[in-house]
Chains A and B, each alone.
Chain A
Amino acid sequence: MTQRLMGLGVSAGQAVGPVARIAASPSLPETSQQVTDADTEAARAQNALNAVADELDRRAATATGAAHEVLDAQAMITRDPALIDSVVARVEAGRDAPHAVAEAFGEHRRALATLGGYFAERAADLDDLRDRTIASLLRLPMPGIPDPGHPFVLVGADLAPADTATLDPAQVVAIVTERGGPTGHTAILAKQLGIPAVTACAEASRLVDCQRVLVDGHSGEVITDPDEALVADALRRQAELAGLRAASHGPGQTADGQSIPLLVNIGGTDAGSGPATDDYEGVGLLRTEFLFLDRATAPSREEQRDAYRRVFGLFSGRRVVVRTLDVGADKPLPYLARMDEPNPALGVRGHRLSQLHPELLEEQLSAIADAAAHSDAEVWVMAPMVATAPEAREFAAAARRHGLGRVGVMIEVPSAAISARAVLAEVDFASIGTNDLAQYTFAADRLAGELAELLDPWQPALLRLIEEVAVAGHELDCPVGVCGEAASDPLLALVLIGLGITSLSMAPSCVPDVRAAIREQTIDRCRELASVALQEPTPREARAAVAEESHRSAVTS
């Protein structure tokens, strides 16, 4: 019988396959064996820990990127001196190796779990390492990814990072977990590998080996024993998307030819060597913090000018939107007076810092203007954390004094969105930073994993604020872009365009999917999708409703 289970779609795409569940954890004998020789027993425990660490190292050596980092961190924990000390102490107190290992991991697990949030997610990592070590000691099958010999849908309570790190996308067609959040390892790595994934699907505990399921990593749906029509439809859509993605190149535009520039966010030490020849229309967010962090003194005007010139040189003929320095108490600079702020996110940061240190902004604007004058790039400049129209006016005047022609502001404080008409009247363009705008609108710390749903860019209240700004932009003929996470979600990109957003800036790797998605829809359809999204009460329902509606209207060539 077909059943529809709901979870959290964390890695887009659809796939069908038979379920294979992750092997169960080894169970520990109820009582500890008598230990006659503590030294031998301690050595036995250490050997098992080493064997697990060696295996992780071996897998780390063949992995790259995030997978490598995760495996490496896991191996380090297995060799952690504090962990080994607590194992040895327990063996010396008379416990056998498996119990000593279980209790030592348990001790550290509790310490992490009580810290909550990110640390509690790491606590699950320890369970996996404990299970591997105990399986090794008791000569039980190693828990982990099954290998049924054919492609399968991987199902488990939660995936250990060590498992997700080396998943083979040719074998694992989709992932479904009972637990896990939007920021966990499963989500991050599944996205990196391009495997559709659904997490936080509690009912997945009922799925059994070999049962056929259809997984929609976008809507978060898992459909058991789907009928052939449903499967055919899902596979056709998936193939179409892959085809469109492969064929997509050139500037961003809707099906009816409305231009939507697709730009990228860059910054950090790599900013000078970015893939400038790639297929996008410029830089929508050049973060400049990289020039100011990690050093004892502020960079000189000349040093800044040379750095900007290098970046502009890579984007000859294309747009580069430079964001002036965005630091605050959470990113302290040793050469500025340290402010002890109880709540740095609400303190003197971004543009507000130029009240205390006007020379910083003056030097930076001067360096940007100088570099722009010697380059063919179309240089725009914008200020972060602007809250009021007078702040926007002040920044615009300062930038124009230096001869910068296109001046804008980031919209990331709700007051700026609410007063969008007044703020936008002062500038030539605006760029909405959806991550901070969500944080401040929902009073939800961006670093708090428990609040992920409030920070979901599909939140109707956030979309309404974006609409507010976009409408003001149209009235004033002032382009309004989006440069937060929201812009990289192909489906949400359609909604943003429908709300009136005129450009999208995202991580370079996200450009092809967004380009393919917007080529399928006309501007009028985008508007309809936006009104569908605005009518839903929750982010999940908004996403699901727009997904359904967009499939109906896709213009397929």
Chain B
Amino acid sequence: MNDATALKQTAVVGSRVGLHARPVAMIAKAAGTMQAKVRIGRDGRDPVDARSTLLLMTLGARCGDEVVVEADGEGAAEALAAIVDLVQRDLDADGESR
């Protein structure tokens, strides 16, 4: 982990349910297929491995919260863009009615 060379981008959580359940599984699954190391942090706390659903859940990020996604290693730019996109989408869009 070399923070100095990692690419970083802020993302707003788009999933209505926040970062747990299905959204977390989809993000961890995507991160698991990437060469680059991707981490997600929130509120200035140490960023966590994006491949870990357990650690992502402990961020406690709710819909509309800002998180910081960072990536380094091979294909870091593409990995960063892909994970930021997933964070910002509503990955649980077919939830219950209002």
List chain A positions with a Cβ less than 8 A from chain B.
69, 72-73, 76-77, 80-83, 108, 111-112, 115, 118-119, 122, 265, 267-270, 285, 287, 289-290, 293-294, 326, 329-332, 334, 338, 344, 384, 412, 433, 435-436, 447, 483-485, 507
Contact = CB atoms under 8 A, between A and B. Distances in A.
Contacts of B20: 118-119, 122
Contacts of B18: 447
Contacts of A72: 25
Contact of B54 (A80, A265, A329): A80
Contacts of B28: 76, 80
Tell which of B20, B48, B54 has the most Cβ of chain A within 10 Å: B54
B42 interface: no
Interface string B66-77: 000000000000
Nearest to A114: B58
A269 B90 CA distance: 12
A71 to B, nearest CB: 11
14 contacts: A77-B53, A83-B52, A108-B54, A115-B58, A118-B21, A119-B60, A265-B97, A289-B93, A293-B89, A294-B90, A326-B98, A330-B64, A331-B16, A507-B97
B60 A331 contact: no
Contacts of A334: 88
B98 A436 contact: yes
Contacts of B7: none
Given A433-B98, A485-B96, A330 B55 contact: no
A110 B48 CA distance: 17
Contact of B90 (A111, A331, A384, A435): A331
| A-B residue pairs, 9 tightest by C-beta | A82-B52, A265-B97, A111-B58, A268-B94, A108-B54, A82-B55, A80-B54, A330-B63, A80-B52
A492 B7 CA distance: 54
Given A77-B54, A289-B93, A330-B63, 19 more contacts: A69-B22, A73-B21, A76-B28, A76-B53, A81-B52, A83-B52, A111-B54, A112-B57, A115-B60, A265-B97, A268-B94, A269-B93, A270-B94, A294-B90, A294-B93, A331-B16, A331-B63, A332-B12, A334-B88
Nearest to A350: B98
B97 A293 contact: no
Nearest to B63: A330
B54 A330 contact: no
Interface string B20-34: 111001001100000
A72 B22 CA distance: 10
Contacts of B21: 73, 118
Contacts of B25: 69, 72-73, 76
A480 to B, nearest CB: 17
Contacts of A69: 22, 25
Contacts of B29: 76
A384 B18 CA distance: 22
Contacts of A268: 93-94
A119 B16 CA distance: 15
Contacts of B49: 81-82
Contact of A119 (B57, B88, B96): B57
Contacts of A294: 14, 89-90, 93
B54 A293 contact: no
B17 interface: yes
A268 B92 CA distance: 10
B16 A485 contact: no
B54 A332 contact: no
Contacts of B55: 80, 82
Contacts of A447: 17-18
Contacts of B97: 265, 267, 285, 287, 433, 435, 483-485, 507
Given A326-B98, A332-B14, A293 B93 contact: yes
B60 A83 contact: no
Contacts of A267: 97
B51 interface: yes
B25 to A, nearest CB: 5
Given A76-B25, A76-B53, A330 B16 contact: yes
A293 B52 CA distance: 27
A330 to B, nearest CB: 5
B89 to A, nearest CB: 5
Given A81-B51, A82-B55, A329 B64 contact: yes
Contacts of A412: 98
A82 B54 contact: yes
A514 B97 CA distance: 17
B55 to A, nearest CB: 5
B53 to A, nearest CB: 5
Contacts of A330: 16, 63-64
A330 B61 CA distance: 12
A108 B63 CA distance: 23
A298 to B, nearest CB: 16
Contacts of B16: 330-331
A118 B21 CA distance: 9
B58 A112 contact: yes
A492 to B, nearest CB: 15
B8 to A, nearest CB: 19
B93 A80 contact: no
A127 to B, nearest CB: 14
A344 B97 CA distance: 17
Nearest to A265: B97
Contacts of B53: 73, 76-77, 80
A483 B14 CA distance: 25
Contacts of B88: 334
Nearest to A435: B98
A168 B63 CA distance: 36
A82 B28 CA distance: 12
Contacts of A485: 96-97
Given A268-B94, A332-B12, A435-B98, A83 B54 contact: yes
